Amino acid sequence: MNKAQNIIVATDFSENANRAVEQASALAQAWHAQLALLHVFNDSVWASLKAVYDWPGWANAEDPAKLAQSRLNELAARIGKEYAVPVAAHLLKGRASQQIGQFVAAQPAGLLVIGEHGENWVRDTVLGGTALKVLEAAKIPVLLVRGGHRGLYRQILIATDFSASATRAARLALDLFPDAQHHLLHAYVVPFEASMRMGGAQDEDIRHYREKEYEQAMLKLEAFAVDCDIHAAAGFSKLALYGYPASVLFEQARGMQTDLVAIGKHGGGALEEKLLGSVTQNVLYHAGCDVLLSA
């Protein structure tokens, strides 16, 4: 793909969405890309808001759709001037996840940028319901912005289980950020280790099997690195560590001061393509940095 020449960013004007807009704008500036700025206006949300909050000012308030369009235009104008990038503002009407999905499907964009959650007062907790639906359905790469990083990423942790989905994630990270330090990470365990202990296996036996698994993991990591051409990155490393994938990833991300985690939608198990894998969802919910999700 060699950089995303067209970037889509969705905003509901919340603080988290603002961070996504700023990062999308910084990337557009770095890549000389065009930016599509989206806001989805939902009439039913406004109706519910009026029903819950009996505020006298609602009666004389200006048409909320017009207000949203005006605010969107102002934001687009500021972004275009501040970052010197072409920005197109799009006000869509309906359910956010559906409208964003349809817009993305109709555009020749290379990246969708969203915040981790907005002001959906019914369903948003850690990762908003809208964000999760968009992540599951998107046919292009998605950047989930949750930190304060601006511009190109420098320390990228790439989670791999050697599946096709992980391969796409690694190649995507390299295509978009070739000058970054790329760290390939695979978490491994000894199959049926608990059962072996119950059957009488000693610590020395378990260590032996762990060493065997580590050796196999490093061989697979080298083959994976070659297949993804990670050696072409400005810098790279390979890590095979014992433990549960998400826990290992979080610990390494903190220790390396990672500013981006790249991961596939799902692993090599028998999961449907339309669903996010359990490890991927765990990362999306709990990673302390931005997350790049391959298509």
- For the chain, the structural domain boundaries read 6-145, 155-293
**Which pLDDT band, with edges at 50, 70 and 90, does 121 fall under?**
very low
6-145 and 155-293 share one fold: yes
Say if residue 111's pLDDT is above 90.
yes
Q: What is the pLDDT of residue 184?
A: 96
Q: Which CATH code, of 3.30.70.270, 2.40.50.140, 3.40.50.620, 3.30.420.130, is assigned to 6-145?
A: 3.40.50.620
- Report domain 155-293's class: alpha beta
What's the rounded Cα separation, in Å, for the pair 7 and 10?
10
Enter the pTM of the model.
Answer: 0.85
Least confident stretch, 19-23, 106-110, 205-209, 267-271: 267-271
Q: What is the mean pLDDT of the chain?
A: 83
Of 273 and 199, which is predicted with more confidence?
199
- Is the separation of the CB atoms in 157 and 260 below 8 Å? yes
Say if residue 119's pLDDT is above 70.
no
Residues forming a β-bridge with 17: none
Average pLDDT over residues 263-268: 72
HEC string for the chain: CCCCCEEEEECCCCHHHHHHHHHHHHHHHHHCCEEEEEEEECHHHHHHHHHHCCCHHHHHCCCHHHHHHHHHHHHHHHHHHHHCCCEEEEEEECCHHHHHHHHHHHCCCCEEEEECCCCCCCCCCCCCHHHHHHHHHCCCCEEEECCCCCCCCCEEEEECCCCHHHHHHHHHHHHHCCCCEEEEEEEECCCCHHHHHHCCCCHHHHHHHHHHHHHHHHHHHHHHHHHHCHHHCCEEEEEEEECCHHHHHHHHHHHHCCCEEEECCCCCCCCCCCCCCHHHHHHHHHCCCEEEECC
| Each residue's pLDDT tens digit, 147-191 | 889 999 999 999 999 999 999 999 999 999 999 999 999 998 876
| Each residue's pLDDT tens digit, 2-33 | 577 899 999 988 888 999 999 999 999 999 99
Least confident stretch, 1-10, 89-98, 120-129, 209-218: 120-129
| Each residue's pLDDT tens digit, 135-147 | 777 889 999 998 8
Average pLDDT over residues 258-266: 90
Pick from 267, 268, 284: which is nearest to 129 by CA? Answer: 284
Burial of 272 (0-12, 13-18, 19+ CB in 10 A): exposed
What's the rounded Cα separation, in Å, for the pair 182 and 249?
14
Of 270 and 170, which is predicted with more confidence?
170
